[in-house]
Amino acid sequence: MKQTRTKAIWTSVGFAGFAMVLGVLYFFDPATHGFYPGCLFHKLTGLDCPGCGGLRAAHHLLHGEFAAAFRYNPLLVVSTPVLLFLLGRKWIKMQTGAQDSVGTRSHDFYWVFLLVLVIFGIVRNLPFAAFAWMSP
């Protein structure tokens, strides 16, 4: 019983922290405020990683500006509904104590997502005009 309560407390703390981060991101535009961290990969290589532009895209998503968000990081915009669904499902299962119905195949999702990240990271750095709009 104590373990369940501790888990619930930490889950609540996690959600509260996530809400605070979203609040800061909503009110402070990463394009105009310098306290957000920069991308170390971009600083070292000059290339855009799969996450480059993600903070600016998230800021625009929180304001309902989907086209602007898509220009900064299309992968974040496309994957946000999936990630929200998975987080919601995980939260419901934690609240109800239900077992994961996906079973042992759930790790396949993570491998596919990793593959998508790698492919997106490569494609967004190709020197063709068709991909120029993807640069943050």
Distances (CA, A) of 100 to 20, 42, 105: 29, 38, 10
Residue 53: its pLDDT value, please?
Answer: 92
Rounded to 5 degrees, φ, ψ at 98 are -70, 150
Least confident piece of the model among 34-43, 49-58, 100-109: 100-109
Q: Is the entire prediction scored with pTM above 0.85? A: no
Q: What is the pLDDT of residues 58-84, one digit of tens each?
A: 999 999 999 999 999 999 999 999 888
Instruction: Return the structure tokens found at 10.
Output: 């930490």
Domain chopping of the chain, boundaries = 2-134
Does residue 21 register a pLDDT over 50? yes
| CB-based contact 134:124 (threshold 8 Å) | yes
Amino acid occupying residue 53: G
What is the total residue count of the chain?
Answer: 136
Distances (CA, A) of 64 to 5, 57, 67, 136: 36, 10, 9, 18
> CA 26, CA 56: separation in Å to the nearest integer?
10
Q: What is the pLDDT of residues 82-106, one digit of tens each?
A: 888 888 887 787 777 776 655 545 6
